[in-house]
Structure 1
Amino acid sequence: TTHYQILKQFAEDTPGLINGSMLYDRHLMQPMFKLSIGNPGSSFAVEIARKIGLPLEIISAAEDIVGKEYVNLDNYLLDITRDKRYWENKRTAIRQKEKKLEQMLAQYSEDAEQLRSKRRDIIEEARAEARKILDSSNAAIERTIADIKQANAERERTLEARRKLKEERLALEKDARNHRDNNAILSKAPKKKKGNSEPKPSGQTIAKAEIVVGTNVKLDGAGTVGTVLEISGKNAIVAFGNLKTNVKLDRLTATNAQPKSNAKSTVSMQTIDSGYERQLNFKQEIDLRGMRADEAIQAVTYFIDDAIRFSIARVRILHGTGTGALRQAVRALLSTTPGIESFHDEDVRFGGAGITVVNLK
């Protein structure tokens, strides 16, 4: 072992010799008891002298004797040792991160495979359920046809049988479309909300008590004439053209007007499907921001009309605050629209005056 720089240089330049050094913590000024082969080390003579408290004039005289090159070389060796330790720690950290990334990639691959497997199982279950629905629906259709024949075209039983047949066919078409999209079977349409609106007075109306199967009626808030197909308690199945809906009796008004004639008495399945799709996809919120007043009024008119037809109890209209003109126009329309029980600002936590909440009868 040596502290002489010239011998360190001799070992570096002479074949058969190699430098080594015991590592030393420069900041804590204490040995690390770790041997490093390949590079010479610093003697830390000046640093140790300062630590043990030698007078500064002695340290300065020593530095003058050995010269700046010795001191600089000693510092270079310290820097090399420091850099080596830094990059070794860096390399260790990179290896640890690479190992962690490999583990995460393996886990993600395993999770992805499990998801693909579950997706296949869900699709297969949906297809099996669809086949079961098709089988049961076909049986229901056969039973319905038999009931119609046995009833000898008796009016009430015929209407009842046709209604059941139509419901079975619509349910079949809806479930088949859902399964083709590889989605879970849609739940039944939302239940109708309670309503207690008063009948709309009209010169053509007749007493509410006279509503029976076959009576022509109008729905509050709408002008279309429909025919009552079935009465069950306080509810009635009403046919508006070829679209049938379940409505509360107290929302119907008997009328002497006749439904619009339909020579063919049929509507394409696409039209019926469109009506059911519209009800299933109906959103209880409309956004008017960015519209002109006339556009907004038309959009709200259609929106409220659909909400009343689908027996929605509550909707929200987003018009923003702005100058307040759009809000004022919307509320002027709401105040004159039949079938609306009340309207008010949304709670301040959910939009305040920028949103109008409408309660329907």
Structure 2
Amino acid sequence: FYARNSFGLITTHYSNLKLLADEQPAMVNANMQFDDRTLEPVFKLILGEAGSSFTFEVAQKNGIPFNLINRAKKKIERGKVRFDATIAKLQKQRHQMAKTGKSLREKENKFENESDRLEKLNQKLKTKLVSYQELFDHNQRMIVLGNKLNDLAELFFKNNKKRPMIAEILRLIESENSKRKRKSSAQTKKAIAVKKSIENEVTKELVTIRKEKKIKKEAPPKPKSIVILKVGDKVRLFDGKSVGSIDAIEKKKAIVNYGIFTTQVNIDQLELVK
């Protein structure tokens, strides 16, 4: 094989051949993986590592009596049994590590996807917040401008002087126009459409919030749990801190003993202290 550079594939249960493969530079061990619980093949080849035949495990799984398996173990050299057991243990550990690695990769992918989703949501919320703030600022400016016009209307109503009023209105318009930036027709249409979209969105949310508030307001109050007080119960006033015990109950009044004094109180004003 060496001289002709041939390639050979050998399958064996012999431990000495597995050891030999580790000692020869032109040979390499390999094994097919098994499920560590069911001993079913998983059809995965691992290079560089000798495999176990799971001789005794397979025998046990197939119903071979324990005493026969133990007799077989005694006939094999202890070193070989330990060697095969070590290989089997390593294979099981490798299989478990592979499962753990797969689980960790899945969790990592899930975490990355969730992180991306939250990042997109955060960006969306930031954009929404900026849009709402711009709408709020615009509405505030309109309120201020409206108040100024209202003041001018009040002044004109009192003095009936047109020229000062017109001059003040023109000055106000010039002041507002100086803050505006010239936009193309397309930009203006786009800005109007965006503003309208935001206003509609805010209006919908306000309607929803108002409905929820109305429902909460109209919802009947939760009925208070009725506690029947009796002689000997520890009680206190709803707005008090002192605790006393009921000595007697007459009609709807209770005589409460606070140790150094007693008092008569309406039962409706008392709560049970547990």
TM-score normalized by the length of structure 2: 0.51
**Residues 140/90 of structure 1: CA separation in 2 closer, same or farther (3 Å cut):** same
The answer to whether residue 52 in structure 2 is matched with residue 42 in structure 1 is: yes
Larger relative helix fraction: 2
Partner of 2:248: none
Shift of 1:42: 1.3
The answer to whether residue 241 in structure 2 is matched with residue 322 in structure 1 is: yes
The answer to whether residue 70 in structure 2 is matched with residue 22 in structure 1 is: no
CA distance in structure 2 between the aligned counterparts of 1:53 and 1:353, rounded to whole angstroms: 71
Percent identity at matched positions?
Answer: 25
1:321/1:353 contact within 8 Å kept: no
1:42/1:77 contact within 8 Å kept: yes
CA distance in structure 2 between the aligned counterparts of 1:94 and 1:47, rounded to whole angstroms: 30
Any residues of structure 2 matched to 1:195-214 within 5 Å, and which?
none
CA distance in structure 2 between the aligned counterparts of 1:27 and 1:121, rounded to whole angstroms: 58
User: What do residues 138-180 of structure 1 show as CA deviations (whole Å, max 9, x unaligned)?
Assistant: 1222222344457xxxxxxxxxxxxxxxxxxxxxxxxxxxxxx
Shift of 1:320: 4.5
Any residues of structure 2 matched to 1:8-87 within 5 Å, and which?
8-87=18-97
Say which SS state the counterpart of residue 81 (structure 2) adopts: helix
The answer to whether residue 6 in structure 2 is matched with residue 6 in structure 1 is: no
CA distance in structure 2 between the aligned counterparts of 1:37 and 1:126, rounded to whole angstroms: 67
CA distance in structure 1 between the aligned counterparts of 2:48 and 2:80, rounded to whole angstroms: 20
Q: How many residues in Structure 1 have an aligned counterpart in Structure 2? A: 165
**Residues 324/131 of structure 1: CA separation in 2 closer, same or farther (3 Å cut):** farther
Partner of 1:127: 137
Q: Which amino acid is the alignment partner of residue 103 of structure 2?
A: A
Say which SS state the counterpart of residue 139 (structure 1) adopts: helix
CA distance in structure 2 between the aligned counterparts of 1:127 and 1:76, rounded to whole angstroms: 74
Say which SS state the counterpart of residue 59 (structure 1) adopts: helix
Shift of 1:134: 1.5
Q: Which amino acid is the alignment partner of residue 63 of structure 1?
A: K
Say which SS state the counterpart of residue 34 (structure 2) adopts: strand
User: What do residues 261-302 of structure 1 show as CA deviations (whole Å, max 9, x unaligned)?
Assistant: xxxxxxxxxxxxxxxxxxxxxxxxxxxxxxxxxxxxxxxxxx
Any residues of structure 2 matched to 1:107-126 within 5 Å, and which?
107-126=117-136
Gaps of 5+ in 1: 151-183, 185-318, 326-344, 347-351, 355-361
Shift of 1:353: 5.6
1:96 is matched with which residue: 103, 106, 131?
106
2:34/2:41 contact within 8 Å kept: yes
**Residues 92/14 of structure 1: CA separation in 2 closer, same or farther (3 Å cut):** same
Partner of 2:115: 105
TM-score normalized by the length of structure 1: 0.40
CA distance in structure 1 between the aligned counterparts of 2:55 and 2:126, rounded to whole angstroms: 67
2:33/2:95 contact within 8 Å kept: no
